[in-house]
Amino acid sequence: MTRTHVLLLSLLLALLALCWAVARHRREAAATTPHATCCEPAGLEAKPIHAIRDREFGGARESLVRNLLDGPIEVRCTMVSPENMRAVPELPRRLVLGAGEEHVVAELRPVDTTLASRAAVACEAIVGDPRARPAERRTYDFPLPTGTHYTLDQGFDGRFSHDTPEGAYSLDFGVPEGTPVLAARAGVVMQVEDAFRTSGRDSARFGDRANFIRVLHDDGSMAVYAHLAPHSLAVRLGARVGTGQLLARSGNTGFSTGPHLHFSVQHNAGMALRSIPFSVAGVDPRKARR
């Protein structure tokens, strides 16, 4: 073998060694970052809670809105970019839809039938029935198995993320991923997300990407169990669950700094979610880390 051949062989071996080292580093980085963005299915977004469709009716066009949840929602609908078009009844308009209910929003009619006309209907939606009047300061069961070791990472009005009306009264239980999550009160599973895998500190990016279960109670309040492990649901949409029943497993998804269970109770205050003061047996929210 000539000196040139030896040199080329040495360079080849060095290049292979470099490639192996880079590949190993990437594997190790992935292993220590279980919530890397590479693990999120492409194009995955939070499920919509309502849908709009049009249908022809007696020479006019009707717009309908449908509730996609197994519990009530409130919608506010408006007419978008109308040209020579009016809505009957007039828009904007607010409606409350029951589980799976579809309702006519308005009939769209030309103002002058001899001219071109166009318009669309758009609706925004919020979970819950604004007519409900849930009791405050109710005591809930512990949402984890008896004897579970946890840290109370954040309490009421926590400065990291419990600083909005919908999340002010919330508790973050620091527990390992995979810890069983139990129903703290009986109700109906009205909404779920379970396909997200990533987490991070960027609220704009991860704020609506947590896995959760929303349970509707008989008084119209709704408990939220959030940051659950992917595909860990033990209940189905529309199912009635009892206090202490297994719902899912804890995880670290969405706007999160580490594995934990976020628990809160909410109600619809009129096209706006608000958290409700509550207590959990054996838990003092004043002893939270933040």
- What are the structure tokens assigned to 245, written together? 């029943």
The region that residue 124 occupies, defined by phi over 0 for left and psi between -120 and 50 for alpha, beta otherwise, is beta
Check: pTM over 0.75? Answer yes or no: yes
Predicted confidence at residue 164, as pLDDT, reads: 85
Task: State the Cα–Cα distance between residues 255 and 227, nearest whole angstrom.
Answer: 8
Alpha helices, DSSP H only, in the chain? 3-32, 203-206
Predicted confidence at residue 50, as pLDDT, reads: 98
Say if residues 184 and 142 touch (Cβ distance below 8 Å).
Answer: yes
Predicted confidence at residue 39, as pLDDT, reads: 63
Predicted confidence at residue 254, as pLDDT, reads: 76
Predicted confidence at residue 34, as pLDDT, reads: 40
Task: State the Cα–Cα distance between residues 251 and 264, nearest whole angstrom.
Answer: 16
Task: State the Cα–Cα distance between residues 64 and 123, nearest whole angstrom.
Answer: 10
Q: Are strands 273-275 and 118-127 parallel, antiparallel or unpaired?
A: unpaired
Domains assigned to the chain: 50-127 (2.60.40.10), 138-287 (2.70.70.10)
**235 CB-near residues (< 8 Å, 6+ apart):** 189, 213, 241, 245, 246, 247, 248
In the chain, which stretches have pLDDT less than 70?
1-43, 157-162, 199-208, 255, 289-290
Predicted confidence at residue 57, as pLDDT, reads: 75
62, with CB counted inside 10 A (0-12, 13-18, 19+), is middle
